[in-house]
Amino acid sequence: MSRLPIAVDAMGGDRAPGEIVEGAVRAAAEVGDVVLVGRSEDLGTEHGLDVIPASEVIAMDADPGSSVRRMKDSSLVRTAEAVRDGKASAMVSAGNTGATMASALLRMGRIKGVSRPAIATPIPVPGGTPTVLLDAGANAECQAQWLVQFGQMGAVFARERYGVARPKVGLLSIGEEASKGNPLVKETHPLLAEAALAGEFIGNVEGRDIMSDDVDVVVTDGFTGNVALKTLEGGLKALVAALFGAFGASDEAKAAAEVLMPQLLPLYAQLDPDSYGGAMLLGVDGVCIISHGSSSATAVVNAVQVAADMVDHGIVDQLRTAVST
């Protein structure tokens, strides 16, 4: 199947451009055509990939809105433009998340009928299929109708990305009964129950269900979603650090931990953000993959793989259909 190259923002991320370029080179060999976007002088020529030149770099902590408006020749803006202009089939960036969203939104535009794009983040489930959490931070304040669309888009994403034939869609709340929650949840519940979904609405779910196979898509506003995501990341990180501390506590413990490594490494890999392949901004008129700021080369390879899969699945057209029903 012919596919336009995937555009990779070579300057975005804590470890850019080194790890990003290395990942792009591996992705070009393992996945398919990749084009780098950035300052040619910083990228060298050894990589052998095509480069779309961009003279500016949006810092990781820059204000998203103003930097995207001001820095028209930044790598992020040029990456989004490459998709808009038909030079690339998708964009991948590990850079400033807010600026990535703003670039994608301003350059690609929204899918017709979508009120607000949302960040869909896969949450690993040990031994199971990841749960798609959205919105994981694009919209700090939401309206009920937007959440309904998040449910529609999230179900399509879970189906296309993870092959769940009929995803279970849950509304994040503080009790299973329809009467439990804040005003936004109470208003959204009956609307989601009536909405056409590429899956089944299972009602309210709680925080403890996210990392389980009881639900495939968890719908929430971007404030709550971002808090849940970061709380989980922090908790797992603290526990893993404590475990490594215990494993290194004595020579005896070290030797025992060695024996367990073949069992523990697959679990560790499953929980490692670098293996998820990044989050996807659903609702813009193009494929936009948002990788973790600390992305390694491997994370970039996985992100390019997801971008290519989503292009091949025609995800944008499927999302367009989902929100128009």
By C-beta, is 20 or 133 nearer to a second copy? 133
- Provide, rounded to whole angstroms, the least separation between the CB of residue 264 and a second copy: 6
- Provide, rounded to whole angstroms, the least separation between the CB of residue 28 and a second copy: 33
- Provide, rounded to whole angstroms, the least separation between the CB of residue 274 and a second copy: 17
- Provide, rounded to whole angstroms, the least separation between the CB of residue 267 and a second copy: 5
- Provide, rounded to whole angstroms, the least separation between the CB of residue 307 and a second copy: 25
Q: Taking a C-beta distance cutoff of 8 angstroms, is the pair 203, 190 a contact?
A: no
Beta carbons within 8 Å of 135's beta carbon, 6+ residues apart = 118, 119, 120, 142, 150, 220, 221, 222, 225
Order of strands, edge to edge, in the sheet holding 168-172?
A: 50-53, 34-38, 6-9, 90-93, 287-290, 279-282, 118-123, 131-134, 217-219, 168-172, 200-205
By C-beta, is 100 or 220 nearer to a second copy? 220
Q: Where are the alpha helices (DSSP H) in the chain?
A: 18-30, 40-43, 64-70, 75-84, 97-108, 144-162, 183-194, 222-247, 251-271, 273-276, 297-312, 315-323
Q: How, if at all, do strands 279-282 and 118-123 pair?
A: antiparallel
Residue ranges that bind a second copy, judged by CB under 8 A? 125-127, 137, 140-141, 172-174, 180-183, 185, 206-212, 220-224, 226-239, 241-243, 245-247, 249-250, 252-253, 255-257, 259-260, 263-264, 267, 271
- Provide, rounded to whole angstroms, the least separation between the CB of residue 268 and a second copy: 10
By C-beta, is 181 or 278 nearer to a second copy? 181
By C-beta, is 109 or 266 nearer to a second copy? 266
Beta carbons within 8 Å of 147's beta carbon, 6+ residues apart = 171, 184, 188, 191, 192, 219, 220, 221
By C-beta, is 193 or 256 nearer to a second copy? 256
By C-beta, is 4 or 264 nearer to a second copy? 264
- Provide, rounded to whole angstroms, the least separation between the CB of residue 91 and a second copy: 23
Q: Which residue has the tokens 């939401």?
A: 142
By C-beta, is 46 or 252 nearer to a second copy? 252
Could you tell me the two tokens for 123? Answer: 């949450």
Query: Whole-angstrom Cα distance, residue 272 to residue 248?
Result: 21
